[in-house]
Chains A and B, each alone.
Chain A
Amino acid sequence: MNPSENPLYANVTMAGFGGQGLMFIGKLLAYSAMKAGMNVTWIPSYGPEMRGGTANCTVVLSGREIGSPVITSPQALIIMNNPSLDAFEARLQNNGHLFLNSSLVTNETRREDIKVVRIPANDVALEVGEKRAANMVMLGAYVEQTKVVTKSLIFEGLKEFFGKKMEFLDVNKRAFEAGMRCVQDGS
């Protein structure tokens, strides 16, 4: 079977500026799926990168053993800035989901065979009180749209990752929920 046709299978590539927290939400998604008993892989782009440069990671989730962690045509893309849209939009699968951070992505996609979900993530993050939580807004939208994991698993994962920094935990939860609402209201 083509792995993409497996009902318990999902993959997503996330890309943006270094510092926007793409690596973090990728790890959080993978970790939460692991807690649900799924097999997961997380692969970062690695290289001489720094804050302000581009960064991306790819997450694969599966109910079965994962063969390739390397995905050329992902089922979904989370795109946080214009350069990442240019670099990745051509790779998205037919009928794939393109999650665009419309606060920063001003370019239009040239693809007409995909579903575009526009989330003004930076504005939403500001509204919940933490401008740096735009990544969590995007993850909330992705999870609400794809249902690959539950909100409670993501929240448990967040607790693990943030440890005792409770003030960050709460605002990140609120950002995630706000992202979910964007998809609920849009559909």
Chain B
Amino acid sequence: MEKTFMTGNEAIAEAAIQAGCRHFFGYPITPQSEIPEYMSKRLPKMGGVYLQAESEVAAINMLFGAAGTGARVMTSSSSPGISLMQEGISYIAAARLPCVIVNIMRGGPGLGGIQPSQSDYFQATKGGGHGDYHLIVLAPHTLQEAVYLTMNSFDLADKYRNPVMILGDGYMGQMMEPVSFPKLTPRHTPKGWALTGAKDRPANLVKTLYLDPEALEKHNLVINQTIQKIKKEEVQVETYHTDDAEIIIAAYGTVARIAKTAIEVLRNKGLKVGLIRPITVFPFPCKIFEELADRRFLVVEMSFGQMLEDVQLSLGRKASVHFYGRTGVVPSYDEIIVEVEKLVK
């Protein structure tokens, strides 16, 4: 297949277009501004809409409205901007509307910095906005995987009527790597709920207000059943050299690919080290951790320990779990090697 040399931001944008996304609402912020830039060049030429909103708050509400029509829609931002969007994301989840939100994480809290980070894991996987909901959260580790996951995210959003987040980091957005775009047949789930003008059919209603407590609970139960189904059917995880591993690194995204190099070097030194790499960080791949709970674990993140908590929950209290984290700085494979060697001593 023909390969194109692109940045991660461009690759995600192109993948979304090829998956049928024709409407994008956003606001620039480093290190993801190339996504809106790419969309602004491409979408108008294809009969789509690129709209630069006056703020992230406006962008997410535009996305809310456009998603209500059943169109394939996307926004992208980076950590502080994603925080501003949380109210709208909660409303979209409440209204059960499919859409794709890209977070190319940078260091926080507050305005933080513009270097890569993974410190929005809690926000992405545990809620972020108010109320009982979850996003489906996909965490690619290479640009090719970012293409596949972005293409698939629209199908997932439609299938479950649930917003999907692509969780990347600044390195993934800025780096370049060859990618190819597979020919795609999008699964177009019928959208009988969409607001399309109600000509010759009863009116549809998209809303998030349920003042009758029983009606609210009934509505939330539907959302929850959807989440339970997602947990059962949509887990994606990669295991790498885990069969004989005595020490297993748990990492996702860019850190996972750095860990792969560390594992290659450590195996060459005779140390049995493997990797569990969650591809969906929600739903979290609990089962594989349970199965391998007798091994020793090293969780590595570009945060001070967020996915760590899901790993600990999955493994139970008796497991041996260690942690290495950098924030604002990308850990090198040499650092990971040192951490693993400390465990062996």
Q: Tell whether B245 is near chain A: CB-to-CB under 8 Å.
A: no
Q: Tell whether B210 is near chain A: CB-to-CB under 8 Å.
A: no
Interface 9-mer from B16-24, B88-96, B170-178:
B170-178
Say whether chain A's binding surface is mostly helix, strand, loop, or mixed. Answer: loop
Interface 9-mer from A43-51, A101-109, A116-124, A138-146:
A43-51
Beta-carbon contact of A42 and B178 below 8 Å: no
Beta-carbon contact of A34 and B5 below 8 Å: yes
Q: How near does chain A come to B32, taking the closest CB pair, in angstroms?
A: 11
Interface 9-mer from A66-74, A77-85, A127-135:
A66-74
Q: Tell whether B114 is near chain A: CB-to-CB under 8 Å.
A: yes
List the A residue with the shortest CB-CB distance to B336.
A68
Interface 9-mer from B193-201, B214-222, B255-263:
B255-263
Which interface class (under 10, 10 to 19, 20 to 34, 35 or more) fits A? 20 to 34
Beta-carbon contact of A42 and B175 below 8 Å: yes
**CA A68 – CA B259 in complex, angstroms?**
7
Beta-carbon contact of A1 and B264 below 8 Å: yes
Q: Tell whether A187 is near chain B: CB-to-CB under 8 Å.
A: no
Q: Which residues of A contact B268 (CB under 8 A)?
A: 1-2
Interchain CB contact (< 8 A) of A43 among B5, B114, B174, B333: B174
**CA A40 – CA B144 in complex, angstroms?**
12
Beta-carbon contact of A70 and B178 below 8 Å: no
Q: How near does chain B come to A69, taking the closest CB pair, in angstroms?
A: 6
**CA A71 – CA B333 in complex, angstroms?**
8
Q: Which residues of B contact A40 (CB under 8 A)?
A: 5, 177-178
Beta-carbon contact of B114 and A31 below 8 Å: no
Q: Tell whether B31 is near chain A: CB-to-CB under 8 Å.
A: yes
**CA A42 – CA B31 in complex, angstroms?**
16
Interchain CB contact (< 8 A) of A46 among B174, B177, B178, B254: B174
Q: Which residues of B contact A70 (CB under 8 A)?
A: 171, 254, 258, 330, 332-333
Interchain CB contact (< 8 A) of B176 among A2, A3, A41: A41
- Highest count of chain A CB atoms <10 Å: which of B178, B259, B330: B178
**CA A68 – CA B251 in complex, angstroms?**
13
Q: Which residues of A contact B259 (CB under 8 A)?
A: 67
Q: If the complex has contacts A27-B5, A31-B5, A43-B175, are A67 and B264 also in contact, measured as CB distance less than 8 A?
A: yes
Q: Tell whether B30 is near chain A: CB-to-CB under 8 Å.
A: yes
Say whether chain B's binding surface is mostly helix, strand, loop, or mixed. Answer: helix
Q: Tell whether B334 is near chain A: CB-to-CB under 8 Å.
A: yes
Q: Which residues of A contact B175 (CB under 8 A)?
A: 41-44, 69
Q: Tell whether A30 is near chain B: CB-to-CB under 8 Å.
A: yes
Beta-carbon contact of A42 and B176 below 8 Å: yes
Q: If the complex has contacts A46-B170, A68-B260, A70-B330, are A30 and B114 also in contact, measured as CB distance less than 8 A?
A: no
Q: If the complex has contacts A43-B171, A46-B114, are A68 and B333 also in contact, measured as CB distance less than 8 A?
A: yes
Beta-carbon contact of B31 and A46 below 8 Å: yes
List the A residue with the shortest CB-CB distance to B335.
A72
Beta-carbon contact of A30 and B5 below 8 Å: yes
Q: Tell whether B265 is near chain A: CB-to-CB under 8 Å.
A: yes
Interchain CB contact (< 8 A) of B258 among A31, A34, A68: A68
Q: How near does chain B come to A73, taking the closest CB pair, in angstroms?
A: 8
Interchain CB contact (< 8 A) of A72 among B3, B30, B264, B334: B334
Enumerate the 8 nearest inter-chain pairs by beta-carbon distance, A residue then B residue, closest first.
A67-B261, A67-B260, A68-B261, A42-B176, A68-B258, A72-B332, A43-B175, A68-B333
What would 13 A/B residue contacts be, using CB atoms closer than 8 Å? A1-B265, A2-B264, A3-B261, A31-B5, A34-B3, A39-B178, A40-B177, A41-B176, A43-B171, A47-B114, A67-B258, A68-B257, A72-B333
Residues of B within 8 A of A (CB): 3, 5, 30-31, 114-115, 170-171, 174-178, 254, 257-262, 264-265, 268, 330, 332-334
